[in-house]
């Protein structure tokens, strides 16, 4: 367990009376997701998500800059927009805590002109959980758009695109013990507490664990934690990758690891690495080690979900390397969401840490990226999500690698879970002919034909939710789908179609049922017995929002 007395430049979590005062003042200022959204308006919120603060500054000015009349605007300017406040104004906005209390917690520091500056980003964050809406405040380091200069090497990332993606991708289910590997400021752990009896959160950065502990204690009530017995529900451990949990088993593992591929140098020091994104290993070795090592900590039936980058060698399929990392005794389902070239990849991550602010260093770093990829014959870099499972008896064996670059229904996690459940159902029902099927509620059919043509030339089945797949149907399969209303078994429908079409060839019926099984696996058809459940009437169960 990381010490409650945090290191320099990280929020302090050993002053419970100050944490209570902070929570009181933030609540009194109505510092919530919805209130901030209303104050800023849609355009300023959208700009802020792109790290552009000018519209938000204009919105807070338009709402009035007097802290006594508009305390919410002052809090937004201070913590979200990192603008200084005079001491009197800060005292007005935080009457219970005061400027010195903010300083004691490591949240504010004196400015040169006698005012005060935020030392961290502190923002509201909310989501819909199974037992109702949750709303908390999350502290992290100030980002590049909030402070000058290159980010510090031990920068603690806030609620970024990757962390939100993992939250939306994770299939939520009630579990005994869960692991958040590479917790950062704690986002994944906050969500795990809603459906795991016990959580272990690890990070290689002591400073990141200090932020996570601060956030847990600040929001103990909302997260259902006893601040005096934090370890009863969650443990914070320091260490690299799986080292802190060696020999333990988990029902669920989630990880947003430092997967960024970064050129290595012979004289490289730890302080030269950005710990939130750079694992210190060459190429995609960190993700490779994690994918290969995770099965050792999965209990029977346990699952792991993580994000990652992987290198794609020239002339090779994108999934070839990723598949080689997966051990034969676990299931794998990997979805590649994006693929970029070496140059675009370099530009993305150099800009991420504001390294373009030093032109000379930027040029050298860009060239190093290109040389590093070229040395390994890397033609492209993929980004996506990895799902692993140590299968229990009776569960399906999954070996699925697919590229989906179109927009998916978010959160995708519930749909992913439903897809795995359908695969398990198919494994338990090998004779599909005896089963009754219905068309999923989000499925529509499209028919295209030439003007004047008697029959359609193209028949498409589309999903309106979830993975939003589109599949091309044969006339026979379209007829099968149209008859799936739960009244007849799949075998009865296949036999009726064979008679109607005069198909007496031996392979027609089993071939049609095999195609129908694929439609079940993809979620176009669902078992009639589960049609009212999550496999058919799936509605998003998580609403991730942040100011």
* Structural domain boundaries in the chain: 16-127, 158-204+239-405, 428-530
Q: Is 166 helix (H, G, I), strand (E, B) or coil?
A: helix
pTM over 0.85: yes
Whether the Cβ atoms of residue 126 and residue 43 lie closer than 8 Å to each other: no
pLDDT value at position 536? 43
pLDDT value at position 38? 96
Through-space distance between the first and last CA atoms of the chain, rounded to whole angstroms = 30
- Measured at the CA of 415, the angle between CA 412 and CA 419, to 5 degrees, comes to 135
> Minimal CA–CA distance to 368: which of 386, 354, 349, 352?
349
pLDDT value at position 545? 57
Q: What is the pLDDT of residues 65-103, one digit of tens each?
A: 888 889 999 999 999 999 999 999 999 999 999 999 999
Which ranges of 259-329 does DSSP label H, i.e. alpha helix?
A: 285-293, 320-325
User: Any idea how long the chain is?
Assistant: 547
Which residues 6+ apart lie within 8 Å of 370 measured at CB?
342, 343, 346
For the record, the structure tokens of 357 come out as 């602010």
Distance CA 362, CA 354 (A): 9
pLDDT along the chain (547 residues), means of 10: 52 96 97 96 93 93 88 96 94 96 96 92 92 91 84 87 95 97 97 97 96 98 96 97 97 95 78 72 94 97 97 97 96 98 93 72 90 96 98 96 96 96 96 96 92 85 97 95 96 96 92 97 94 45 49
Whether the Cβ atoms of residue 96 and residue 25 lie closer than 8 Å to each other: yes
Label residue 58 exposed, middle or buried (CB < 10 Å: 0-12, 13-18, 19+).
middle
Count of beta carbons in the 10 Å neighbourhood of residue 478 = 17
> What backbone phi and psi angles, to 5 degrees, belong to 361?
-65, -35
Q: What is the pLDDT of residues 271-288, one digit of tens each?
A: 666 777 777 788 999 999
User: Across-strand partners of 381?
Assistant: 311, 340
| CATH number for the segment(s) 428-530 | 3.90.930.50
pLDDT value at position 54? 94
Distance CA 162, CA 187 (A): 11
> Minimal CA–CA distance to 119: which of 89, 146, 91?
146
Into which CATH architecture does domain 158-204+239-405 fall?
Answer: 3-Layer(aba) Sandwich (3.40)
pLDDT value at position 2? 42
């Amino acid at each position: 367990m990381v010490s409650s007395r945090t290191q320099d430049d990280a929020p302090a979590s050993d002053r419970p009376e100050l944490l209570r005062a902070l929570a009181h003042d933030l609540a009194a200022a109505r510092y919530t997701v919805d209130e901030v959204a209303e104050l800023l308006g849609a355009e300023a919120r959208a700009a802020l998500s792109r790290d552009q603060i000018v519209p938000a500054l204009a919105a807070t000015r338009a709402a009035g800059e007097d802290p006594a009349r508009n305390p919410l605007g002052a809090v937004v300017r201070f913590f979200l927009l990192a603008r200084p406040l005079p001491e009197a104004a800060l005292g007005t906005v935080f009457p219970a805590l005061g400027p010195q209390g903010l300083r004691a917690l490591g949240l504010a520091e004196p400015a040169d002109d006698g005012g005060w500056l935020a030392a961290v980003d502190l923002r509201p964050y909310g989501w819909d959980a199974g037992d109702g809406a949750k709303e908390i405040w999350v502290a992290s380091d100030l980002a590049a758009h909030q402070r000058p200069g290159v980010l510090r090497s031990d920068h603690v990332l806030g609620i970024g695109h990757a962390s939100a993606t993992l939250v939306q991708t994770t299939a939520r289910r009630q579990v005994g013990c869960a692991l958040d590997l590479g917790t950062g400021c704690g986002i994944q752990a906050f969500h795990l507490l809603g459906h795991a009896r016990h959580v272990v959160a690890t990070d290689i950065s002591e400073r990141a664990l200090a932020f996570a502990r601060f956030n847990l204690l600040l929001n103990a009530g909302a997260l259902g934690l006893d601040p005096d017995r934090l370890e009863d529900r969650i443990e914070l451990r320091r260490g690299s990758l799986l080292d802190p949990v060696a020999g333990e088993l988990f029902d669920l593992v989630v990880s947003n690891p430092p997967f960024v591929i970064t050129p290595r140098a012979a004289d490289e020091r730890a302080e030269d690495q950005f710990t939130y994104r750079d694992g210190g290993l060459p190429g995609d070795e960190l993700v490779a080690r994690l994918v290969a090592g995770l099965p050792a900590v999965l209990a029977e039936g346990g699952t792991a979900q993580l994000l990652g980058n992987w290198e794609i060698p020239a002339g090779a399929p994108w999934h070839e390397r990723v598949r080689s990392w997966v051990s034969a005794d676990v299931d794998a389902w990997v979805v590649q969401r994006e693929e970029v070239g070496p140059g675009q990849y370099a530009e993305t991550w150099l800009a991420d840490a504001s390294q373009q602010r030093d032109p000379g260093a930027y040029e050298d770093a860009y060239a190093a990226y290109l040389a590093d990829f070229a040395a390994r014959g890397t033609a492209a870099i993929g980004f996506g999500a990895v799902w692993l499972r140590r299968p229990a008896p009776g569960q399906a064996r999954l070996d699925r690698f697919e590229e989906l670059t179109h927009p998916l229904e978010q959160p995708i996690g519930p749909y992913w879970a439903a897809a795995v459940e359908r695969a398990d159902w198919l494994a338990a029902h090998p004779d599909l002919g005896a089963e009754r099927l219905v068309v999923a509620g989000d499925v529509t059919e499209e028919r295209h034909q030439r003007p004047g043509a008697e029959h359609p030339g193209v028949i498409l089945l589309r999903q309106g939710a979830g993975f939003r797949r589109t599949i091309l149907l044969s006339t026979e399969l379209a007829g099968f789908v149209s008859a799936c209303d739960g009244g007849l078994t799949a075998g009865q429908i296949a036999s009726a179609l064979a008679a109607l079409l005069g198909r007496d060839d031996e392979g027609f019926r089993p071939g049609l049922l095999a195609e129908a099984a694929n439609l079940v696996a993809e979620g176009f058809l669902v078992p009639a017995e589960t049609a009212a459940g999550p496999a058919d009437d799936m509605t998003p169960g998580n609403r991730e929002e942040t100011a």
